[in-house]
């Protein structure tokens, strides 16, 4: 695991991801605490799709793919899965840090209980987004054998889903959490989109060994 951390979390990646969330909580203004999760969700998705795109594609660009073809397929797939998990865990940790840092703007807070509920809901939503967008960009990069293709295609989908046209998907939009009614604490209409995203993210992770076998 230590070696995998060194491989998938080099200092430059740790640095730019951290810088992204720090800048995010400085430049994205929020008035209400309930806005924080909604403000972060699409932008953390954007970070995840860039951050995870090279998880397997880096093996191809470095020429290591050719020697990994001769290694044990199951162990290679498990290693890639571990790297994905580490990256996603790191993204979630810095997203949580960013959530806390948003409070420097002194948003209008709900009660302590409501604040905790908002935090918990945001964590679930952010985890779902990281899982979906990270899994998608890695899968597309593996299939296209090119990190930039994976990033570009995922970004196009992100742009569509975050646009007015994307809002027409309603509650089935994986970014539906960002469009929810923040004034209504009981609103869970965004759940279908999030569940769809989590399901698709898990499926992409499970299908990754097959993608590596066919296109790796």
Partner 1 sequence: MIEIRDLTVKFKNGVTAINHASLDIPPGIYGLLGENGAGKTTLMRVLTTILKPSGGSVSLDGIKYEEKNYEMIQRKIGYLPQEIDLYPMLTVRECMEYLGELSGLDKKTYRSRMEYYLEKTGLADHGKKRMRQLSGGMKRRAGLVQALLSDPRFLIVDEPTTGLDPEERIRIRNLLVDFSRERTVLFSTHVVEDLAATCSRLSVMKKGEFLYSGSVKGMLERAKDHVFLCRTDDEMLIRQLSKKYHVSSRQYTEKGMQIRLISQEKPQAECIPCEVTLEDAYIYMMNFGV
> Does the footprint of partner 1 cover residue 214 (CB under 8 A)?
no
Q: How many residues does this entry show for the chain?
A: 216
CA dist list (Å): 163 to 79, 96, 133:
36, 26, 16
> Does the footprint of partner 1 cover residue 106 (CB under 8 A)?
no
> Does the footprint of partner 1 cover residue 64 (CB under 8 A)?
yes
> Does the footprint of partner 1 cover residue 14 (CB under 8 A)?
no
Closer residue to partner 1, CB minimum distance, 10 or 170: 10
In whole angstroms, what is the distance from residue 13 CA to residue 209 CA? 24
Site for partner 1 in 66-95 (CB under 8 A): 66-73, 75-76, 79
Closer residue to partner 1, CB minimum distance, 159 or 210: 210
In sequence order, what are the residues at sequence separation of 6 or more whose Cβ sits closer than 8 angstroms to the Cβ of residue 116?
A: none
User: Is there a contact between 107 and 182 (Cβ–Cβ < 8 Å)?
Assistant: no
> Does the footprint of partner 1 cover residue 206 (CB under 8 A)?
no
- Using alpha carbons only, what angle is made at residue 38 by residues 107 and 191, rounded to the nearest 5 degrees? 135
Closer residue to partner 1, CB minimum distance, 7 or 191: 7
Buried b (16+ CB within 10 A) or exposed e, 151-161: bbbbbebbeeb
> Does the footprint of partner 1 cover residue 17 (CB under 8 A)?
no
With CB under 8 A as the contact rule, the residue among 19, 26, 62, 206 that binds partner 1 is: 62
Contact residues toward partner 1 (CB under 8 A) are: 3, 6-7, 10, 62-64, 66-73, 75-76, 79
């Amino acid at each position: 695991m230590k070696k995998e951390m060194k491989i998938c979390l080099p200092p430059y990646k740790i640095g730019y991801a951290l810088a992204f969330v720090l800048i995010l909580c400085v430049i994205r203004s929020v008035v209400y605490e309930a806005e924080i999760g909604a403000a972060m969700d699409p932008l953390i998705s954007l970070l995840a799709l860039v951050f995870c795109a090279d998880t397997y594609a880096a093996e191809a660009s470095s020429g290591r793919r050719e020697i990994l073809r001769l290694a044990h397929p199951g162990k290679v797939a498990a290693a890639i899965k571990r790297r994905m998990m580490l990256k996603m865990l790191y993204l979630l940790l810095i997203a949580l840090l960013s959530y806390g840092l948003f409070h420097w703007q002194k948003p209008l807070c709900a009660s302590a209980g409501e604040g905790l509920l908002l935090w918990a809901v945001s964590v679930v939503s952010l985890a779902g987004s990281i899982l979906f967008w990270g899994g998608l960009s890695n899968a597309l990069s593996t299939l296209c054998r090119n990190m930039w293709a994976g990033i570009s295609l995922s970004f196009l989908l992100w742009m569509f889903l975050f646009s007015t046209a994307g809002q027409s998907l309603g509650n089935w939009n994986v970014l539906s959490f960002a469009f929810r009614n923040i004034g209504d604490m009981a609103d869970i209409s965004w759940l279908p989109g999030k569940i769809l995203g989590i399901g698709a993210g898990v499926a992409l992770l499970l299908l990754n060994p097959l993608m590596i076998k066919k296109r790796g």
